[in-house]
Structure 1
Amino acid sequence: MIKETYRIEGMHCAACAAAVERILKKQPQVESVEVNLIMNQAVIVANEELDLEAANQALQKAEFAILPLAEYVTVNLTIKGMHCASCANACEKILKGQNGVKEASVNLLTNQASVTYDKRKVKLGELLHALQKGGYEGSVILDQQQKVEEKPSFYERWHIPIALVLAFVLLYIGMSHMLPIALPLPQIIHYETHPLNFALIQFVLATLIILIGNAFFIRGSKALLHGAPNMDSLVCIGTGSAYLYSLYALVQIMQGNLMYVHHLYFESAGVVVALVMLGKHLEARSKRKTFDAIRSLMKLRPSTATLYKEGEEITVSLEEVAIGDQIVVKAGDQIAMDGTIIEGSSSVDESMLSGESMPVDKEIGDAVVGGTLNLSGRLLVSVSANMDNSVLTKMIRMVENAQGKKAPIAKVADQVASVFVPAVMVIAVLAGIFWYVMEQDFTFSLTVFVSVMVIACPCALGLATPTAIMVGTGKAAQNGIFLKSGEALERFAHIDTMIFDKTGTLTIGKPVVSDFIGDDAPQAFAYMAAAEAGSNHPLSKAIVDHAQKIDAPKYTASEVVSMHGLGVQARIEGKEIVVGNAKFLKEKGYAIKEEQEAYHKLLKKGNTLVFAGYDGRLLGVCAIRDELKADSAVTMKKLRSLGIDVVMLTGDNEIAAKAIGEEAGITHVIAQVLPDQKGDVIASFQKNGKKVAMVGDGINDAYALTLADVGIAIGSGSDVAVESADVVLVKDEMKDVVVAYELANAVIRNIKQNLFWAFFYNSLGIPIAAGLLYFFGGPLLSPVFAGAAMAFSSISVVSNALRLRRFQAKW
């Protein structure tokens, strides 16, 4: 199988993404397609190389295009300092001499150069630096650079206000005389005194509005011709029918049939198009708010980095930084890329990554993450990941993928939408025919037809799911929780069993001294730390760390001998120190009473006991264990209150496992489980009909995370665990499990609300537009009000989704 990513052009909404996916899936080589609307990309899995030309031809029929992701980039430069042809040749030679430059063309007349280069091999900053070394000054032509926020054109700024003003004038002229109290209208365009002028002014205004909103008609007609009618098709046919019939009436008025002045529907066509434009604009503006999470993450990434090369500092674009490069980060600057500090020390604000406000001290050898803020000190960082594989990019990609993927609940809306537009067209035609038969009035019939076509916009259905997922996953990202897909989010909302790995998940994952029984703790730990100083064993490190913590005296041990599985013996100030388990000390002649009640209590709490003797005297016993995280117990309590069965899974012995379980408030403990058996435990719960979430952090949890209905990885855990999981908790806090669960439920509730109102709206709106109320003596819905209602339905769905931005977990 071949998996490739392509760029897609021409997509505007979720319906466009669905159309692209549908068209590409019809290509013979294609096995699966995943379209990302946010990135305007499609990931295609094919059984052989994709026929790009054929795929492009198929997409172009629906106004889309597919392009490969370019490896080469072309940039236009302005070069100062050139005076003659030899200068131009010299600049061209310099540019072509750089590794990775494919083409370089210098124009002396314009003092410009066009350079095509492989951005993976050479950086733009290096090209400019090479020109500088040759005595020339190069700079990028500003209008050739991609701008984050380009200023909108005059048309983009003013086409909707102009259309609305024209629509207001058109509505006033066309309907002022129909109100209970007629509004004043100049005689020159009054329908009674100058009917032709009355018709012509409406024709001009409606035509101008339709020209401004021509995109609906272009897209709608093409979609209809290719057998895939959409919302634009409904607007196109509905308003187009009203416009064409009004045009027919205008011709009749010109021929002297003045009664046709009452058969003009220019205002319906023009005003509906203007209202639909306004509705789509407000909808787009509301939808832009759903991308806040991605935009806020992208803002964390600086646009340039300071490259340190051969003793010089060169400013380059971020895309050009490669693994192994050295970058300089000055105090107050954002760290451009992930890497390791090779020079300097500083405090770094990592709140974007962890949500914690306290800065973290960093020294040589410590890892830093791109996007975090260097608060003090100059750092020299060796880049360990390129931009595509950086932590920040992965965070952005997680959010993008989650927002681009559909939840299973979206299939309901998709299935309805696929038959909805054709069904509406049939209903509109049948309703029009019915009322023509009933009323013998073509104008009345046309009003019904247009109203049904306009009010039955399926946009609210199409927006119901993606907007809620976008806002929900964005809100989660702001809390340091990354939901990788809409599907995972929906599964998470239906979880009834949550299984937690113990070590590193519920516990801190690092043995610490929890208790000591003896006469002089500082002196005892001073001797023990001296004996254990050279060992890498976790228990030895716990003893050394604790000695430093209590500021115990420092000694130097000699003749250190480690006895595997027993302990260590050494000499301090000429006397023997023995540190180890009870068996080891007994062998050395120390009287150890293991049945002692105090020791037994420590063992019941899950401690490992380490005894210490010095010069024939028992110093005491040190209790070491992996302690529970501060928020583990309260998290378990909250999960149980939400009706979730909590289970702890560990490879530890049963005594230690039950001790930790009891402290955490977990009664269901499964101990002595080997890494390869964790998946079997997950499967056994699933066979009993349970919906299982697995929370873990290690490589040994990867299989279980994949097998569970929802895998939840602790962000501080292994890369394998993070990659295997559906949900990633960046902050390493147990309470985020609850936040993620409650947010998933809030998103699914929001989607259901959106779907209900979208279905309810269309179920109610179409019969009213078709004349149901009029049939029972009520009013007939005007196409103008139908257009306004259609726009309101989409805006209301998006607005409901935006309420998720105010989500807060209930503790």
Structure 2
Amino acid sequence: MSSSTTDAPGETQHVDLAISGMTCASCSARIERKLNKVEGVQASVNLATEKASVTFPSALSVTDIVGVVEKTGYGATPLEQDRRPGGAPAMTHDVVGSGSLRLRMVVASALALLVVLVHMVPPVRDALGMGGHWLQLVLTAPIYFWAAWPFHRAAAINARHGASTMDTLVSVGITAAFGWSVLALLTGFTADLYFETAAVVTAFLLIGRFIEARAKAQGRSALTSLLELGAKDVAVLRQEGGGAMATSEHRVPVEELVVGDRFVVRPGEKVATDGTILSGRSTIDASMVTGESMPVEVGPQDTVTGATVNGHGRLIVRATRVGSETTLARITELVEQAQTGKAPVQRLADRISAVFVPTVLVIAAVTFLLWLVTGHTFTEALAPAVAVLIIACPCALGLATPTALLTGTGRGAQLGILIKGPQILESTRRVDTVVLDKTGTLTTGRPVLTDVVTAGSLPEHAALKAAASVEAGSEHPVAGAVVDGARERGIDLVQAEDVVNLPGEGVRARLKDTEVTVGRPSLFDVVPEVLVETLERADGTTVLVGWGGTARAALTVADTARETSAAAVERLRGLGLTPYLLTGDNARTAAAVAQEVGIDPSDVMAEVLPQDKFARVQELQGQGRVVAMVGDGVNDAAALAQADLGMAMGSGTDVAAESADIVLMRSDVETVADAIGLSRQTLTVIKQNLLWAFGYNTLAIPLAAFGLLTPLIAGGAMALSSVLVVLNSLRLKGFGRA
């Protein structure tokens, strides 16, 4: 099955194609231009990934789209959907060329070295005499006819379609050098031969192309590793027919899992798919999926993500998502989408590449004629013309953006940062304000017991023991925080009897012979002054515990700031951003969190209703600010969509993630700074690459035209230029490493 999908009858379809035969930016631009000329078709062709992403009307078929590409002179194959749970398109070809490119490179390099020895080393040249010229022909012929065949073939195909690409420049250049040398040797017209130019230039270009292919494969390695993460099979629990409760394990391929299946995850195994733990406790290593470096403790009712690794315990999990709906599949899809797309900055490069090669052919012809009319010989005019053809290759221009995107988005995936599209990079450059939701973003989103205050001589542990014993049977989040707080302090609870829930007020129960009440002040006849003061100044939710009508202690439960939030806010300031705190909580609680994480009190927006978060973002934009919004809940979705840059915590809701431009798989505000820093660094590398590519051609072509660069030097410089662009992009693989 191909990756073609139909949204609805009579609407549009989508297909991803693997494109073969592209060698430079002119190739990708030409294919994209031809596809987009078809009515209703929208296509984006990426040189680095060697793929085309095509949306087309349902009146057309995938075969029609493939036919357009093939008529343009290139190969196209619909990408197959992988059968793994990730469901992402699998790689269909080896960018290094299955050894063919390597063999051509090795043979051409060896023969070119011999040609250079015969032509340029005086002892060898003198010893061979005229025989050396014929030996050069014998050594160069295999290079020209076999090693350089891909250049000639591509140039011929493009010529048949009335087009020209980088291969045209190379083929014309080495043909001119080789053809003139053969003619001169056969006629004895001149002693000026250029066999070494044809041989060495071909070798240089093949070496450069091989290095580019290897480097592009490295840039794609993050996506490839994502595709390989998933488990291949799984132990599913099946109910046996012999008894209603009898179950047994069956090992099945992971693609056979369906929602609701129960499966076993043994220590050291990968979790087969997203699910909820039914029984067992363990630790989960999620580093390859979320970038989280520390294992996470899990138990019953906790969720687990497919492709994470189980630690020491045996778990039984119920599958909640399978196939293309899993977290791993969504991650892979987003990374693939970002790597296949184009940043706005690349459009300029595409437009230039479309007219670049014909322009260079004209420049080379004019160079040749000018040298002739100024009194130079044919051979003297040929050298600079060939140098212009060779050095003007637009490879570096075509690789400048996609290689940086490949590496940057791949590194982001490793860090748990999913950038939805290359256009997002431009947004991060302009952002000057970041609005941070409080609950679940700056804070843990889980209430914890923060303070116990007693009246009189009652010990804190006694008050907490009484409150937790009464609250043990309640499912209220505050009750859970009180119980967890007691257990963390090593307090053993007492069995409560005659438990009575008081809706909206609290809970009452009998502990031994005493009736204990936990809840609002209205439940007590007497509240000591010290507890009243605690209620007034508390930065969270405070409940009272007491008996006999008198409150004996106050317990405060609050949503605490994450340990990393303060450092994250400081990093955001270092990136030139002004952080704002946005919350529906009361002003006192919001101010306390803001003070803890380092946000200015004047930049706190508290008591904001969910429907008003959108308006607050609009207000900041109305003040001329470029706003990034960070949130994780359904109530953040509108604000995320309105913001210039929306960033959703991956631990939040699907609605928030869909509304955002960047998804942060880790529940850690540090990733906000990482995401903006990585995006900006990727954009910087793209601009560096484009500056080099434009500058290189702008400077090199005149030097070659004026005879200041020989064809040999031109070939080496051209190959080196492309390699430098790719290597500069690969620096992004080290982002975030100490």
User: Which TM class, normalised by the smaller chain length?
Assistant: 0.7 to 0.9
Q: 1:217-242 deviations in whole A, cap 9, x for unaligned?
A: 11123234434422112112222233
Whole-Å separation in 1 of the counterparts to 2:236 and 2:541: 50
Q: CA deviation at 1:548?
A: 2.2
Would the aligned equivalents of 2:84 and 2:254 in 1 still touch at CA under 8 Å? no
Would the aligned equivalents of 1:120 and 1:320 in 2 still touch at CA under 8 Å? no
Query: Between Structure 1 and Structure 2, whose CA radius of gyration is higher?
Result: 1
Residue number among 273, 278, 286 corresponding to 1:337 in the alignment:
273
Q: CA deviation at 1:596?
A: 5.1
**2:108 aligned residue:** 163
Q: How does 1:467-546 map to 2 (within 5 A)?
A: 467-518=403-454, 519-546=458-485
Q: CA deviation at 1:729?
A: 2.1
- State the AA in 2 paired with 1:641: G
Residue number among 695, 720, 733 corresponding to 1:760 in the alignment:
695
Are residues 592 and 619 of structure 1, via their aligned partners in 2, closer, same or farther at CA, if it must alter by over 3 Å? closer
- Asked if 1:693 corresponds to 2:628, the answer is yes
Are residues 481 and 796 of structure 1, via their aligned partners in 2, closer, same or farther at CA, if it must alter by over 3 Å? same
Q: 1:45-65 deviations in whole A, cap 9, x for unaligned?
A: 334332444333321123334
SS in 1 for 2:374: helix
Residue number among 551, 556, 568 corresponding to 1:618 in the alignment:
551
- Asked if 1:581 corresponds to 2:529, the answer is no
- Asked if 1:27 corresponds to 2:38, the answer is yes
SS in 2 for 1:579: strand
Whole-Å separation in 2 of the counterparts to 1:285 and 1:18: 23
Would the aligned equivalents of 2:114 and 2:139 in 1 still touch at CA under 8 Å? no
Would the aligned equivalents of 2:21 and 2:75 in 1 still touch at CA under 8 Å? no
Could you state the TM-score of these two structures normalised by the residue count of structure 2? Answer: 0.88
Residue number among 724, 733, 737 corresponding to 1:805 in the alignment:
733
SS in 1 for 2:467: helix
SS in 1 for 2:124: coil
SS in 2 for 1:272: helix
SS in 1 for 2:551: strand
Bigger mean CA offset, 316-325 vs 738-747: 316-325
Are residues 746 and 708 of structure 1, via their aligned partners in 2, closer, same or farther at CA, if it must alter by over 3 Å? same
Are residues 9 and 386 of structure 1, via their aligned partners in 2, closer, same or farther at CA, if it must alter by over 3 Å? farther
Would the aligned equivalents of 1:533 and 1:544 in 2 still touch at CA under 8 Å? yes
**2:65 aligned residue:** 55
- State the AA in 2 paired with 1:184: V
Q: Which runs of 5+ in 2 are unaligned?
A: 1-10, 241-246
Q: 1:236-264 deviations in whole A, cap 9, x for unaligned?
A: 2222233333343344x1xxxx23343x3
Q: CA deviation at 1:627?
A: 1.1
Would the aligned equivalents of 1:484 and 1:726 in 2 still touch at CA under 8 Å? yes
Residue number among 541, 546, 563 corresponding to 1:608 in the alignment:
541
Would the aligned equivalents of 2:48 and 2:402 in 1 still touch at CA under 8 Å? no
Bigger mean CA offset, 391-400 vs 6-15: 6-15
Q: 1:573-597 deviations in whole A, cap 9, x for unaligned?
A: 3443232223x13xx4224559954
Whole-Å separation in 2 of the counterparts to 1:147 and 1:403: 16
Q: How does 1:34-433 map to 2 (within 5 A)?
A: 34-35=44-45, 42-67=52-77, 155-176=100-121, 182-185=122-125, 190-191=129-130, 198-199=133-134, 201-202=136-137, 205-251=140-186, 253=187, 258-262=188-192, 264-306=193-235, 317-319=253-255, 321-325=257-261, 327-342=263-278, 345-363=281-299, 365-433=301-369
Q: 1:687-706 deviations in whole A, cap 9, x for unaligned?
A: 33222111111111122112
**2:614 aligned residue:** 679
Could you state the TM-score of these two structures normalised by the residue count of structure 1? Answer: 0.80
Are residues 474 and 556 of structure 1, via their aligned partners in 2, closer, same or farther at CA, if it must alter by over 3 Å? same
Whole-Å separation in 1 of the counterparts to 2:93 and 2:358: 40
Q: 1:198-228 deviations in whole A, cap 9, x for unaligned?
A: 2475166235433222111111232344344
User: What is the number of equivalent residue pairs in this alignment?
Assistant: 711
SS in 2 for 1:172: helix
Bigger mean CA offset, 10-19 vs 659-668: 10-19
Q: CA deviation at 1:467?
A: 1.7
SS in 1 for 2:18: strand
Would the aligned equivalents of 1:203 and 1:247 in 2 still touch at CA under 8 Å? no
Q: CA deviation at 1:318?
A: 4.5
Q: CA deviation at 1:794?
A: 0.6
SS in 2 for 1:516: strand
Whole-Å separation in 2 of the counterparts to 1:439 and 1:316: 80
Q: How does 1:689-768 map to 2 (within 5 A)?
A: 689-768=624-703
Whole-Å separation in 2 of the counterparts to 1:315 and 1:614: 57
SS in 2 for 1:554: coil
Bigger mean CA offset, 721-730 vs 694-703: 721-730
Q: CA deviation at 1:765?
A: 0.7
- State the AA in 1 paired with 2:124: P
SS in 2 for 1:409: helix
Are residues 359 and 525 of structure 1, via their aligned partners in 2, closer, same or farther at CA, if it must alter by over 3 Å? same
**1:646 aligned residue:** 579
Would the aligned equivalents of 1:349 and 1:375 in 2 still touch at CA under 8 Å? yes
Bigger mean CA offset, 470-479 vs 459-468: 470-479
- Asked if 1:8 corresponds to 2:18, the answer is yes
Would the aligned equivalents of 1:639 and 1:646 in 2 still touch at CA under 8 Å? yes
Are residues 539 and 615 of structure 1, via their aligned partners in 2, closer, same or farther at CA, if it must alter by over 3 Å? same
Whole-Å separation in 1 of the counterparts to 2:177 and 2:349: 30
Are residues 468 and 315 of structure 1, via their aligned partners in 2, closer, same or farther at CA, if it must alter by over 3 Å? same
Are residues 623 and 322 of structure 1, via their aligned partners in 2, closer, same or farther at CA, if it must alter by over 3 Å? closer
Are residues 598 and 390 of structure 1, via their aligned partners in 2, closer, same or farther at CA, if it must alter by over 3 Å? closer
- State the AA in 1 paired with 2:306: G
SS in 1 for 2:123: coil
- State the AA in 2 paired with 1:20: I
Are residues 325 and 439 of structure 1, via their aligned partners in 2, closer, same or farther at CA, if it must alter by over 3 Å? farther
- State the AA in 1 paired with 2:578: D
Would the aligned equivalents of 2:143 and 2:202 in 1 still touch at CA under 8 Å? no
Are residues 56 and 148 of structure 1, via their aligned partners in 2, closer, same or farther at CA, if it must alter by over 3 Å? closer
Are residues 389 and 795 of structure 1, via their aligned partners in 2, closer, same or farther at CA, if it must alter by over 3 Å? same
- Asked if 1:660 corresponds to 2:611, the answer is no
Question: Could you say what the CA RMSD is over the residues aligned between the two structures, in angstroms?
Answer: 3.2
Are residues 684 and 398 of structure 1, via their aligned partners in 2, closer, same or farther at CA, if it must alter by over 3 Å? same
Whole-Å separation in 2 of the counterparts to 1:416 and 1:763: 12
Q: CA deviation at 1:156?
A: 4.8
Whole-Å separation in 1 of the counterparts to 2:217 and 2:461: 61
- Relative contact order (C-alpha < 8 Å, sep 6+): which is higher? 2
- State the AA in 2 paired with 1:25: N
- State the AA in 1 paired with 2:229: L
Q: CA deviation at 1:303?
A: 4.1
Q: CA deviation at 1:507?
A: 0.9
SS in 2 for 1:702: helix
- State the AA in 2 paired with 1:520: P
Would the aligned equivalents of 1:532 and 1:544 in 2 still touch at CA under 8 Å? yes
